[in-house]
Structure 1
Amino acid sequence: MKITFLGTGTSQGVPIIGSKHPVCFSKNPKDKRLRSSVLIEKNKKCFLIDCGPDFRYQMLRNDHERLDAIFITHEHHDHIGGLDDIRPFYFNMNKPIPVYGLRRVLEDLKKRFFYFFSENQKSNISKISMHELDTYKDFFIVEDFKVFPLSIWHGDLSILGFRIENFAYITDASSIPLQTIQQLKELDILVLNVLRKTPKDPSHFTLSKSLDVIQKIRPKKTYLTHISHMIGFHEKIETQLPKNVYLAYDGLIIYET
């Protein structure tokens, strides 16, 4: 299974417009972060987790022609703002693109992207099919793959992470229930969010909390994502991380075997 990090930044991306923070002036491309999303490929199938406002540019620079399903963690704009740009995939594949998410999230998409559901067949719009998830089911099947929805808390908002085989993706977490921790055992690769070192944040893990969670789950490797400029410079922070914990960066490709 091939995993491509399309973006690894927070809701504002890095650099932030108008910021004078030194990281925002970094010349290292690993310090430049689009909004967080990953593309998963296996057996000629492509799955997207989250579809943020940088989606068009992310896909242009990664050169893909198909999209078999989209899994949405939650309804915040940095995770759904690019859905309008799935049109080329719809036209290429000539079938609605399945979108999976919580009922609350799907209802929000129906309001924001109401024109997706137009009965006007002449409209130059995408068609999507909505698939409601809940965390009480062990798994759902997409293109013969078992996908496990994971219950996560983002502040006081219930959101989803996803596990496919021995790979799991969690973003925007502020806490992870014990039941979900148990679902994350025996992972080869964990992707987990980290906002910054300090100060603490009510809606996102900071570095110390992310490392505590990694110790509980004990995956073989962890890649940190949803990273703000306040974490510091990529090259410096990488040297301070424990063994087998890495900062992800835009364009990074990893494999789960």
Structure 2
Amino acid sequence: MQATLTFLGTGTSMGVPTLGCDCEVCNSAVSPDGDRRNRRTRASLRLAYNDRTVLIDTGPDFHAQAVRERIRRVDAVLYTHPHADHILGFDDLRPLSFHNPGNLPLYADDNTASVIESVFEYTFNKANRYPTSARVDLHRIGADPGAHVELFGADFRRIPVTHGRTTITGYRFGAAAYLTDMSDIPAESLPLLEDLDILILDALRHEPHYSHSHLEKSIAYVERLKPRRAYFTHMGHTLDHAATEATLPPHIRLAYDGLQLDFEIATPSEQQP
């Protein structure tokens, strides 16, 4: 089953341009003659297949991203972790949820679900629910590696990854995997990332960082896992798109906001065991 993956955003929690910064990359992001690929909103993904739309994360730029990509419906949302740059666009799901015949299903690990319920208490507090809150059902995904949820004929498997001192959720869906905000991939997760067409990894900057993978480390993971193609996301303002990409081998590229990729999103029976 064919699917189209769209990078809604490819930036860090501070975005690019970063407020108050006058560096070359930030200026390029907003200059009329700059490189538009340096304009990076907060990281998030859209998957379109089987006449459905599934999102991974809804950051604070989701409204602008949805307008840009003309997203008129959402059928499900998967969350990676509860940091602000990945959940604060939740409230922008409201008008989209009103069009659904039932409640919009959301999926997250237990910690992420608990934070969403707390931050958006007015949506989930049945005793005092705001009347025009998003119409959603929040489902908890199991913590085990390979825990999965089936959505509209595709299987989404949880890939635990390390984000500093915490474990968060990456996802494999068919021949693609999305591992934003990872600093390391635990040994037990590596077998779940074999035989990929597309591997999407965090690559924050050139220098090492305590809670994010950096360029050299992400390249090493690509060489170890050997996907047919790899794309880096969650990039900061020290990575100029053209200059950085020129140093990479042909099968490794930098993602950019609006980039679309076609791939095979397998049915559950076609997934690896």
Q: Secondary structure at the match of 2:210?
A: coil
Tell me the residue number matched to 1:81: 88
Tell me the residue number matched to 2:262: 255
Tell me the residue number matched to 2:222: 214
Tell me the residue number matched to 1:238: 245
Q: Residues of 1 paired with 2:234 and 2:12: CA distance?
A: 5
Q: Residues of 1 paired with 2:57 and 2:39: CA distance?
A: 19
Q: Residues of 1 paired with 2:150 and 2:83: CA distance?
A: 25
Tell me the residue number matched to 2:142: 134
Q: Give 1:25 deviation, angstroms.
A: 0.3
Q: Is residue 183 of structure 1 aligned with residue 188 of structure 2?
A: no
Contact 1:234 1:247 in 2 (8 A): yes
Q: Give 1:99 deviation, angstroms.
A: 1.0
Contact 1:167 1:189 in 2 (8 A): yes
Contact 1:139 1:148 in 2 (8 A): yes
Q: Is residue 197 of structure 1 aligned with residue 206 of structure 2?
A: yes
Contact 2:16 2:39 in 1 (8 A): yes
Q: Secondary structure at the match of 1:86?
A: helix
Instruction: Kindly report which structure 2 residues correspond to 1:77-116, keeping only aligned pairs within 5 A, or say none.
Output: 77-116=84-123
Residue 174 of structure 1 aligns with an amino acid whose one-letter code is: S
Change (3 A) 1:218 1:92: same
Tell me the residue number matched to 2:14: 12
Residue 183 of structure 1 aligns with an amino acid whose one-letter code is: L
Residue 11 of structure 1 aligns with an amino acid whose one-letter code is: S
Q: Residues of 1 paired with 2:194 and 2:171: CA distance?
A: 13
TM-score by length of 2: 0.90
Tell me the residue number matched to 2:175: 166
TM-score by length of 1: 0.96
2:233 pairs with one of 197, 220, 225: 225
List gaps (5 residues or longer) in structure 1.
Answer: none
Contact 2:81 2:168 in 1 (8 A): yes
Q: Residues of 1 paired with 2:129 and 2:187: CA distance?
A: 47
Query: How many residue pairs are counted as aligned between the two chains?
Result: 255
Q: Secondary structure at the match of 1:242?
A: coil
Q: Secondary structure at the match of 1:230?
A: coil
Tell me the residue number matched to 1:55: 62
Residue 177 of structure 1 aligns with an amino acid whose one-letter code is: P
Q: Is residue 24 of structure 1 aligned with residue 32 of structure 2?
A: no
Identity %: 35
Q: Is residue 124 of structure 1 aligned with residue 124 of structure 2?
A: no
Contact 1:46 1:68 in 2 (8 A): yes
Residue 204 of structure 2 aligns with an amino acid whose one-letter code is: L
Tell me the residue number matched to 1:2: 4
Worse-superposed segment, 29-38 or 120-129:
120-129
Q: Residues of 2 paired with 1:5 and 1:17: CA distance?
A: 22
Q: Residues of 2 paired with 1:96 and 1:21: CA distance?
A: 44
Q: Secondary structure at the match of 1:51?
A: coil
Residue 69 of structure 2 aligns with an amino acid whose one-letter code is: N
